[in-house]
Amino acid sequence: DSGVTQTPKHLITATGQRVTLRCSPRSGDLSVYWYQQSLDQGLQFLIQYYNGEERAKGNILERFSAQQFPDLHSELNLSSLELGDSALYFCASSPQTSGGETQYFGPGTRLLVL
Amino acid sequence: GENVEQHPSTLSVQEGDSAVIKCTYSDSASNYFPWYKQELGKRPQLIIDIRSNVGEKKDQRIAVTLNKTAKHFSLHITETQPEDSAVYFCAASTGTGANNLFFGTGTRLTVIP
């Protein structure tokens, strides 16, 4: 157990819908990262938040957004869902945002868009 | 941005043999290189990492080597066991104010008993 929690574990929804994925980092970690894992794209970085502020952006679609709240949990919002958004979504956390920090991954949310 | 390539994509070894997975990266500013093991449907788990000021690091049967000049790093697993069967990902991070990881495409390792 990494100490990072994610809910829900599974989500099944329809195209065009909107969903929210939730992540709670390890106690004391200020950085939260979101990654998408799909069969054809591998593990891809989406976005990072550090202490409530957006820190880095990867290949995140405009239909996706995220935020980190004062209690440091983070939510990833996916809207206008498409079949291709079906994937495993992981969040990870680290203490700060300096280089070379170990990232601990949560168990993931499996999203299936029908 | 950073581009990490990983080879081979699949690897089968006999139990007790060694396994080697290789990765190359493109951004010379990258300074942190973790390796993750992922079992089917589970989260990636860190197994070993190396920073750019170190050339080699070992933890029991697992070792990682880094060649900064050539921009490549490798994972070595000795005395493989069936429980080593999983997908292994290498990653790189530049750490320039952000810490996001760029992952390789993964290697599916199968250890044959």
Measure the CA–CA gap between A110 and A12, rounded to whole angstroms: 8
* pLDDT tens string A57-89: 988 999 999 999 999 999 999 999 999 999 999
Residue-wise pLDDT for A19-36, tens only, equals 999 999 999 999 999 999
Residue A37 CA to residue A49 CA, distance in Å, equals 19
Instruction: Name the phi and psi angles at B83, rounded to 5.
Output: -70, -5
Q: Give the Cα-Cα-Cα angle A69, A109, A60 (nearest 5 degrees).
A: 65
Which element (helix H / strand E) includes B33?
strand B32-38
Say how many Å lie between the first and final Cα of chain B, rounded. 41
Chain B neighbors of A104, CB-CB under 8 A: 46
Contact B43 A107 (CB under 8 A): yes
Q: Which of A44, A99, A107 sits opposite B95 (nearest CB)?
A: A99
Give A14 or A98, the one with higher predicted confidence: A14
Q: For strand B107-112 and strand B86-92, is the pairing parallel, antiparallel, or unpaired?
A: antiparallel
- Averaged pLDDT score across all residues of chain A: 93
Contact B43 A94 (CB under 8 A): no
- Which residue from A minimizes the CA distance to B51? A100
Cβ–Cβ contact B40 with A under 8 A: no
The whole-angstrom separation of Cα A94 and Cα A47 is 14
More confident residue, A38 or B11: B11
Q: Does the distance separating the beta carbons of B32 and A56 come in below 8 Å? A: no
* Residue A91 to residue B85: CA distance in whole angstroms: 24
Write down the pLDDT at residue A22: 98
With CB atoms and an 8 Å threshold, state whether A99 touches B31.
yes
Beta strands in A8-113 (DSSP E): 10-13, 19-24, 31-38, 42-50, 53-57, 64-68, 74-78, 87-94, 104-105, 109-113
Q: What is the pLDDT of residue B96?
A: 64
pLDDT above 70: percentage of residues in chain A: 97
Q: Do B93 and A105 touch (CB under 8 A)?
A: no
pLDDT band at A96 (very low <50, low <70, confident <90, very high): confident
The backbone torsions φ and ψ at residue A62, rounded to the nearest 5 degrees and listed phi first, read: -65, -25
* pLDDT of chain B, 113 residues: tens digit per residue: 789 999 999 999 999 999 999 999 999 889 899 999 999 889 999 999 998 888 899 999 999 999 999 999 999 999 999 999 999 999 999 766 667 889 999 999 999 99
The pLDDT of residue B29 is 87
Rounded Cα gap, residues B50 and B43, in angstroms? 20
Give the per-residue pLDDT at A100: 72
What is the model's pLDDT at position B54?
A: 81
Of A31, A58, A100, the CB nearest to B32: A100
**pLDDT tens profile B84-101:** 999 999 999 976 666 788
* Contacts of A83 by beta carbon, 8 Å cutoff, 6+ apart: A15, A113, A114
